[in-house]
Structure 1
């Protein structure tokens, strides 16, 4: 037997989209009360493009991947743009101007 290429070791990322029926809310308006959306089994998420519903255990894994990606994006935005080189020196306050303000030489 040949060795595999590691196909079972990494979970496949499945792109998700909000359910078109409930628009990601997991419930739909009934006549008298809200009902669980049957198109997405009350999760609010379906597979992008095909609209297939994922089983609960797979959905939890895929939502965890989406949450981790969103957290990385938030962390990157909170760090702000990193300025280096001459631009960093230009942006910092050197207290050489009138009243201790920043003097840039312009």
Structure 2
């Protein structure tokens, strides 16, 4: 059990939900144009527990943290896909020289 006093030294991801006013779009339709959603400060997300809009500086921070997490997950999935495909030359398991279009073997017949 760790003892701590005061706020965390690292920024934490907060659980977010789609804004019910704009359905996660960040804009609402006016009569002739779109306007920034007042319910979520045009962010498209609200606090999941309270349903309140985040302050603009907190909204920017949370969106940046969520984007960094999504990019990290994307890199990890790309790495897993590359491992499944095979070596760095693009050859997968059991593939060697002689593959033609659409992955068919070409024997020169």
Unaligned runs of 5+ in 2: 85-92, 98-106
Aligned residues: 90
Q: How does 1:1-106 map to 2 (within 5 A)?
A: 5=4, 7-79=7-79, 80=81, 82=83, 91-93=93-95, 99=107
2-side partners of 1:8 and 1:17: how far apart? 23
Q: Give the SS at the match of 1:82.
A: helix
Greater C-alpha radius of gyration = 1
Q: Distance in 2 between matches of 1:25 and 1:72?
A: 24
Contact preservation (8 Å) 2:41, 2:56: no
CA RMSD between the two structures: 2.7
Cα contact 2:45–2:53 (8 A) shared by 1? yes
Q: Tell me how far apart the structure 1 counterparts of residues 45 and 83 of structure 2 sit (CA, whole Å).
A: 36
List gaps (5 residues or longer) in structure 1.
84-90, 100-106
TM-score norm. by structure 2 comes to: 0.66
Q: Tell me by how many angstroms 1:82 deviates.
A: 3.4
Q: Secondary structure of the equivalent of 2:83?
A: coil
